């Protein structure tokens, strides 16, 4: 393992925050995700009976997708387009 310089060590912690990271951090502070998931999980049961086709999408991902769609007033097609054209997030 190579030792890093003092300049690299100082710069390492000063990464520029992207708009996406700012938005996601703001979204985390506004929405009580765990309470919402806890309240909705008893009523959310994706169809897993036949186990054919695509696997079901998790409740948290569906909620986040729905909130994004509502906040930006996107139609289903526009939301799908935004997801497919967006660059992947490093933190997933």
Q: Which residue positions in the chain have pLDDT lower than 70? A: 1, 46-50, 87-92
* 21 in a structural domain: yes
The answer as to whether 89 is a domain residue is yes
Q: How many structural domains is the chain composed of?
A: 1
Domain assignment present for residue 7? The answer is no
In a domain, 26, yes or no: yes
In a domain, 77, yes or no: yes
pLDDT at 87: 64
The position carrying tokens 């169809």 is: 47
The helix or strand, by DSSP H or E, that contains position 11, with its residue range, turns out to be helix 6-12
Is residue 80 one of the residues assigned to a domain? yes
pLDDT at res. 49: 61
Contacts of 37 (CB under 8 A, 6+ apart): 59, 60, 63
Residue 2 lies in a domain: no
Name the residue range of residue 34's domain: 16-40+56-92
């Amino acid at each position: 393992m190579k030792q890093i310089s003092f300049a690299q060590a100082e710069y390492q912690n000063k990464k520029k925050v992207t708009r996406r990271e700012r938005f996601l951090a703001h979204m985390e502070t506004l929405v009580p995700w765990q309470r919402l998931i806890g309240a909705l999980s008893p009523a959310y049961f994706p169809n897993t009976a036949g186990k054919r086709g695509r696997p079901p999408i998790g409740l948290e991902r569906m909620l986040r997708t729905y909130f994004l769609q509502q906040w930006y007033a996107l139609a289903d097609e526009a939301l799908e387009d935004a997801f497919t054209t967006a660059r992947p997030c490093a933190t997933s």
